[in-house]
Copies of this chain bind each other. A is one copy, B any other.
Amino acid sequence: MPATAYTLTELVARFGGEVRGDALASVSQVASLAHAESHQIAFLANLKYRDQLAESRAGALIVGRDMAEASDKPRIVTEHPYTYFAKVSNLFNPPLRGEPGIHPAAVVHPHATIGDDVRIAANAVIERDAVIGAGSTIGAGSVIGAGSLIGCDALIYANVTVYHRCVIGDRVILHAGCVIGADGFGLAPDAGRWLKIPQIGRVVIGNDVEIGANTTIDRGALDDTVIHDGVKLDNQIQVAHNVHIGEHTAIAACTGIAGSAHIGAHCTIGGAAMIFGHIEIADRVNISTNTLITKSLPKSGTYTSALPFSEHSEWLKNAVQMRHLDSMAKRLRAMEKQLETLEKKNK
């Protein structure tokens, strides 16, 4: 399918910004500076890529105001070139929605409700009383559990599992292998054994949420697990039962969030962070990669606990001292006292 081409003038009419150079230059795809061809538009947000710029065969550029004259290629000058680039890329690359209609090898329960213009791929399973909103896509092998509601224009890739009675908003994207609504890890001790606590809450996911491949979000024990509008979760994140994640918070891959943690809005959480359960994290908190948060964070800020790496032989020498810090601190205090006494004597 030949892509639709747009002139820079047309792009500026849609997305704002200002053209410099040939305003009728036309492009039909985005690309990286290094690999762009003449029908493609690249972006330059950082002058450290100036060398790549010199060699780039891009047909046009999106540049920040401070780089407006870094090239004489046809270009769009804008405040936020990366965001602008995202808009242009979305224009050129609408989501792939698979084949139209319900594939004959899909299994749709007669008591399920399927909206207009829904695409359901081969071997997808829509269970009893599930509802699929208009314009949504269900990928091959995905399972939508009994009584679950999927909003409109959702995009669910292959081999996703949504358990029973979950609620998923409009325009949500669920990547392959993610699991929504499995039982939370609720156990009561009972004479040396573990007694399972039935997990009877739901997972409720707002609009415009994206959830990465193989991420797991457990259903609530009694009340619901709640993911608010605009949250973006990367791959292989674990969200335990009764967690709440506030609007437009973004969390990088491999992070784990323990039960009943409440995370604010507009937070960013680095990869492989771990968040204790039953704590509250304020809005606009940033948590660094590999950081363990063990208590509530009542105010915005950036929090870190990662250990710096070193060459193994260096590390061995320093690591052994980590087990002696308490003793080192005591010796420091003792010496300070000794020194004080000596200094008095030597006055």
Seen from chain A, the residues whose Cβ lies within 8 Å of a Cβ on chain B are 29-32, 34-35, 80, 82-83, 85-87, 89-90, 92-93, 95-96, 98-99, 103, 105, 107, 121-123, 125, 127-128, 139-141, 143, 145-146, 157-159, 161, 163-164, 173, 175-177, 179, 182-183, 185, 187-190, 192-198, 200, 208, 210, 212-214, 216, 218, 222-223, 230, 232, 234-236, 238, 240, 248, 250, 252-254, 256, 258, 266, 271-272, 274, 276, 286, 288-294, 301-312, 314-326, 328-329, 331-332, 335-336, 338-339, 342-343, 345-346
Are the CB atoms of A163 and B157 closer together than 8 Å? Answer: yes
Are the CB atoms of A177 and B214 closer together than 8 Å? Answer: yes
Cα separation A87 to B196 with both chains bound (whole Å): 9
Cα separation A80 to B29 with both chains bound (whole Å): 53
Say how many copies of this protein the assembly contains: 3
17 contacts between A and B (CB under 8 A): A34-B223, A80-B188, A92-B198, A107-B122, A107-B140, A143-B176, A179-B235, A185-B232, A185-B253, A214-B216, A236-B236, A290-B292, A308-B322, A317-B325, A321-B326, A321-B328, A324-B329
Q: Cβ of A158: which chain B residues have Cβ within 8 Å of it?
A: 125, 143, 145, 161, 163
Cα separation A218 to B172 with both chains bound (whole Å): 19
Cα separation A321 to B322 with both chains bound (whole Å): 9
Are the CB atoms of A125 and B143 closer together than 8 Å? Answer: no
